[in-house]
């Protein structure tokens, strides 16, 4: 994989975004098993309803895994220095999530060329679900 060069990246450069298929129960069950996150809010509709939710909903960290795929689709993973995210909305069943990233700053830090990338996950209505930023070293 060839990594983008610091000199060829500008503030405003967009990372290739990732468009996910509508969220379904199979994905939630697979993610619960694969991630070890067995909190029943995501897999058991009876439990979710008792908690006052209309149905099960997506794991926040599933969306972070998708956001990470945007980063590792752009650079080799060893260049990722930091990822910070805030969960601001619940990803409901059948939401079609788009994960995107945009370079917002070029900087020198700890002797490296780095870029700060704003990342976000939105559903098909443009509602933000997870927002944050990543710090990436570039050659």
Partner 1 sequence: MLDKSYIGRNLGRITTEVERGRLRFFAKATGETNPVYTDEAAAKAAGYRSLPVPPSYFFCLQMIDDPDPTGWLTKLGVNLQHILHGEQSFEYLDMAFAGDSLIFESRVTDIYDKKGGALEFLVTESTCVNQLNKVVVKMKCTTVIRNPGAGKK
Q: Give me the residues that bind partner 1 (CB under 8 A), please.
A: 1, 20, 27, 30-31, 33-41, 47, 50-52, 59-62, 64-69, 71-73, 76-78, 80-87, 90
Query: Minimum CB separation from partner 1 for residue 13, in Å?
Result: 20
101 in Cβ contact with 74 (< 8 Å)? yes
Q: Which is nearer to partner 1, 9 or 99 (CB)?
A: 99
Contact assessment for residue 117 and residue 100, using Cβ atoms and an 8 Å cutoff: no
Of residues 10 and 119, the one with the C-beta less far from partner 1: 119
| Distance (Å, whole) CA 127 – CA 48 | 22
Comparison of 12 and 52: residue with beta carbon closer to partner 1: 52
Nearest approach, Cβ of residue 40 and partner 1 (Å): 7
Between 12 and 120, CB nearer to partner 1: 120
CB proximity list for 33: less than 8 A, separation 6 or greater? none
DSSP at 22: P
3-state secondary structure at position 125 = coil
The nearest distance, CB 8 to partner 1, in angstroms, is: 21
1-32 burial: b if 16+ Cβ within 10 Å, else e: eeebebeebeeebebeebebeebeeebbeebb
Closest approach, Cβ 86 to partner 1, in A, equals: 5
Show Cβ contacts of residue 77 under 8 Å, excluding neighbours closer than 6 positions: 71
**Which residue number, 9 or 62, has a Cβ lying nearer to partner 1?**
62
Rounded to a whole number of angstroms, the minimum distance from the CB of residue 10 to partner 1 is 24
């Amino acid at each position: 994989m060839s990594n983008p060069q610091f000199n060829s990246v500008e503030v405003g450069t967009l990372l290739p975004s990732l468009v996910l298929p509508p969220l379904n129960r199979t994905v939630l069950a697979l993610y619960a098993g694969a991630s070890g996150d067995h909190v029943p809010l995501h897999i058991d509709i009876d439990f979710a309803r008792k908690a006052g939710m209309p149905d099960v909903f997506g794991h926040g960290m599933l969306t972070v895994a998708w956001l990470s795929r945007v980063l590792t689709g752009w650079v080799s993973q060893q260049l990722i220095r930091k990822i910070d995210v805030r969960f601001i909305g619940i990803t409901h069943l059948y939401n079609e999530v788009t994960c995107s990233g945009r370079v917002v700053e070029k900087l020198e830090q700890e002797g490296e060329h780095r870029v700060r990338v704003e990342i976000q996950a939105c559903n098909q209505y443009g509602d933000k679900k997870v927002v944050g930023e990543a710090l990436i070293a570039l050659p």
